[in-house]
Amino acid sequence: MRLMLSFQRSALLGCLTCLCSFAALGGEDILSTNVTSSIPVESNSPSVSTAWYAQPYGVDPAMVIDLALEASWRTHQLQPTAPADERVFLRRIYLDLIGRIPRPQETQSFLADTDVNKRILRIDALLQSEAHAVHLSEVLDAILIGRTDTEQLRRRTAAGWIDYLKRAIDQNRPWNEVARDALLARPSSPIDQGANWYLYARRDKPQEIAEAVSKDFFGVRIDCAQCHDHPLASEIKQQHYWGLVAFFNRSKNVDTPEGPAVSESAIGGFSEFSNLEGDSTPNELVFLGDRRVEETRPASGAKEEDRDELYVSSPGSTARVPKFSRREQFVERVLDGHPLLAKAMVNRLWAWMMGRGIVHPVDAIDSYHAPSHPELLDWLAGDFAASGYDVRRLLRSLARTRAYQLSSKEDAFVDPQWFSAAIVKPLTAEMLQRSMLVAFDPIEPSQWNSLEQRVMFSNAFPDVIAEESISNVTQGLLLTNGDSVNDLVSIKHSHFLQTLRDSKSSDASLIRLLFEALLNRPPDAEELVRCESFISSRPERRDQAIESAAWAIVSSAEFRFNH
């Protein structure tokens, strides 16, 4: 179904009014009413219509989210959990926004702060910090290009890709511009050269590019449409797969004095693809939502001639730019304003903050995977586009919602798709590593934050917004017996543990300090007794007992997850 033009101010306000009154009434008599169904319904099939995002900008997305989720809780007769307490909130927001646990002094100052707006203030402060840019760039790098080895990570960094992402986040560049930079790979200024790496990393393999572009920027996995129309999501056609390939099959990696670049030929790239039955079809320039670019195909067998006048770039330049550039056409006529561009990013950032996409898994926005809150996703996507693809605003909105700030503690299994409790999220490799470093304060930090260590960790814990977090024994063995972990959690290498040991404080206060530093909370009575006796019963090996207690805390589930 097409997105409706009715999705404009009056209709929207109608919806909001409806939601508000629903929230205000909240009576039993309307519990059974599915109020959200009065919002214009759109299926999740990728589709396009003109001016689809022409809707008001200025309504607070956090409020819309709260109203929509509260409505769905009522509809499904779910009781949301209690609000997260200040410590839990603080740890959560630090991990999500800057990728590490808060330091004890940061926690103390937050607790001591009496400003009623202190949560929002802290959210804003974190979002504007450099640490946020570093953290989110790592997340985006893992999503957009993926885990790799040391050599590749070195090249990726040298090419300026990581810096590009960091700067884009730091300056809060609109997401559609970032997408454009990455897919056009023709930086308007040398400082953005690093964006080229997105295509360059695919080593001249247009199919790999197509599969990545579709997943990363449109939230749709098209891989299995290579050989036939998608068997489960009929809107994903084989012609979309090969169409997307065609947009990138004239591109070629080149190395310029400015760095890695992607040249484009003015000719070639015409071919046909055949399905399993052997029927062949021309690979026209078309993608999801039937966004199509017309191009004259040479007659069958006719030989195209490559001539200088077909190019904008000067003859002899390494990174050639044709007058008719398929990449440019893609960016201008397919990517620009494509409803999935906004939807995919909204769904992904939602999943990042909330622990699960409205469409789950995040890269399956197709008719086979129904969203849990279709109207809300549409509204948020429209709002995101209308806001100028403002990533920071979206993160800020999500962080301020009631659902985000709910407690993650639940007594019984609850279907996570309704977000009636905060979902526990595993820390990414980088978050886990950084949090450990912040807590233990190594004497020689370079030993633990080296490229090799980062790669080792990121390969052991590769997931970023995985469909489901499943731990494996390799991880258990690494955390239990691995040298790097055991060395870091040692008095010999950790300032923090040294200070603890030397403080001559009582075992109880030592345990309290450990808990504050690692779990951002004091131990409860039971924990205190258990840990205290662990240390006091080993007077002849006190150092080792302290290390073991620290290890037990840092390898506990509470440390492993953002909850």
Partner 1 sequence: MASEVNKKQLNNTCGGMDHKLHRRLFLQGSFAGAASVASFQSLFSVPAFAESAQARGKRCILLWLCGAPSQFETWDPKPKRPTGGPFSSIPTSLPGVHISELMPKTASIMDKLTVVRSMSTEPSEHFQAIDLLTRGEQPRPPFTRPVMGSVLAKYLGQLDCPVPQFVLLDPCPEGNEFRAFKASNWAGWLGAEYGPVRFGGPYKLENVTYPKGLDTQDHSDREALRSFLSKKFANDHKAAAVQSYNSVFERVRGLMKAAPLFDLNSLLEADRERYGPGTFGMHALLARHLIENGSTFVMVANGMPWDCHVLNHETHQMLVPELDRIIFHLVNDLTDRKMLDDTLVLIMGEFGRTPWLNEARGRDHYPKAWSMAMAGCGLKPGVVYGATDENGVAVSDQPLDQRRLFATIYKALGLDPHMAYDLPDFPPFNRVEQDAAPVDELLA
Partner 2 sequence: MPIELEKIDRTSFPMGVMDLAVQRDGRAAFVGCMDGIYRCEFPTEDSPQDQVPLPICIGRHGSYVSGVALHLSKSSLISASYDGTIQIRNLAGDDTHANELKSGEGVQSVDGNEIAPWLSERVHGFWSWKMALSPDERWIASVTGQYLAGGEDYAPLPSPEPTVKVFESDTGRLVHAFDMLPSVQCVAFDSKSQHLAAGNLMGDLAVWNVISGEQRAQWRTPSFTSWGIIKSHCFIGGIHAIAFSPDNASLYAAGMGEMRDPMAGDGKQRWQRFDWQKTPVEKIQESVADQSGEGLMESLVFAPDGQHFVMAGRLRGGNWNVAIFATESGQLVGQAKTGMRITATQFSHDGQILYLAGMQGQPEPKDNQFPSFGYLERYRVKTTG
Phi/psi at 270 (5° precision): -90, 130
Binding site for partner 2 (CB under 8 A): 226-227, 242, 268, 270-274, 276-278, 280, 283, 300-301
Binding-site partner at residue 412 among partner 1, partner 2, none, CB < 5 to 8 Å by type: partner 1
Q: What is the DSSP letter of 191?
A: G
Among 471, 499, 505, 536, binds partner 1 (CB under 8 A): 471
- Interface residues for partner 1 in 259-288 (CB under 8 A)? 274, 276-278
- Binding residue (CB under 8 A) for partner 1 from 342, 344, 423, 511: 423
Minimum distance of partner 2 from residue 249's CB (angstroms) = 10
467 touches, from partner 1, partner 2, none (C-beta below 5 to 8 Å by class): partner 1
Residue nearer to partner 2 on the CB measure, 225 or 491: 225
Tell me how far, at minimum, the Cβ of 440 lies from partner 2, in Å.
39
Helices and strands, number each (H, E), in the chain: 25, 8
State yes or no: residue 548 binds partner 1 (CB under 8 A). yes
The tokens for 129 are: 């910090």
Smallest distance, partner 1 to C-beta of residue 271, A: 17
Q: Please report how close the Cβ of residue 498 comes to partner 2 at its closest, in angstroms.
A: 47
Tell whether residue 478 is a contact of partner 1 (CB under 8 A). Answer: yes
Nearest to 406 by CA among 85, 84, 91, 90: 84
Tokens coding 258 = 């400015």
**Between residue 43 and residue 72, which ones bind partner 1 under the rule CB under 8 A?**
none
- d(CA 387, CA 418) in angstroms, rounded, equals 26
- 486 lies in the binding site for partner 1 (CB under 8 A): yes
The DSSP code for 562 is E
Q: Is 540 in the site for partner 1 (CB under 8 A)?
A: no
Partner interacting with residue 120 (select from partner 1, partner 2, none; CB below 5-8 Å by kind): none
Could you tell me the smallest distance in angstroms from the CB atom of residue 488 to partner 1? 12
Q: Which stretch binds partner 1 (CB under 8 A): 6-14, 299-307, 377-385, 523-531?
A: 523-531
73 binds partner 1 (CB under 8 A): no
Per-residue exposure over 326-349, b if at least 16 CB sit within 10 Å of its own CB, e if not: bbbbbbebbbebbbbbbbbbbbbb
Of 284 and 487, nearer to partner 1 (C-beta) is 487
Two tokens, residue 450: 């080296």
Give the pair of three-digit tokens for residue 462. 């590769």
Contact between 29 and partner 1 by CB under 8 A: the answer reads no
Place of tokens 């039937």: 290
- Identify whether the C-beta of residue 422 lies closer than 8 Å to the C-beta of residue 85: no
Question: Site for partner 1 (CB under 8 A): which residue of 174, 337, 388, 482?
Answer: 482
Instruction: Give the nearest distance from C-beta 518 to partner 1 in angstroms.
Output: 10
Number of residues that bind partner 1 (CB under 8 A): 59
HEC string of 197-257? HHHHCCCCCHHHHHHHHHHHHHCECCHHHCCCCCCCCCCCCHHHHHHHHHHHCCEEEEEEC
Please report which residue ranges of 461-506 form alpha helices under DSSP H.
473-481, 483-488, 495-502
**In angstroms, what is the minimal distance from the CB of 247 to partner 2?**
16
Backbone angles phi, psi at 271, to 5 degrees: -160, 180
The set of residues, in sequence order, having a beta carbon less than 8 Å from that of 438 and lying 6+ positions away, is 100, 101, 103
Stretch in the footprint of partner 1 (CB under 8 A) among 67-75, 221-229, 322-330, 438-446? 221-229
Nearer to partner 1, 177 or 467 (CB): 467
- Which positions ≥6 away from 300 have C-beta within 8 Å? none
Query: 253: burial class by Cβ within 10 Å (0-12, 13-18, 19+)?
Result: middle
- Indicate whether 549 belongs to the interface with partner 1 (CB under 8 A): yes
**DSSP per-residue string spanning 350-383:** HHHHHSS-SSSSTTB-STTS--SSHHHHHHHHHH
CA–CA distance, 510 with 504 (Å, rounded to integer): 9
11, 410, 521, 542: which one contacts partner 1 (CB under 8 A)?
410
CA 526 to chain centre: 37
Of 124 and 410, CB closest to partner 1: 410
Catalog residues that contact partner 1 under the rule CB under 8 A.
223-224, 227, 231-232, 274, 276-278, 408-413, 415-417, 423-424, 426, 466-483, 486, 526-527, 530-531, 534, 541, 544, 548-549, 551-553, 555-558, 560-561, 563
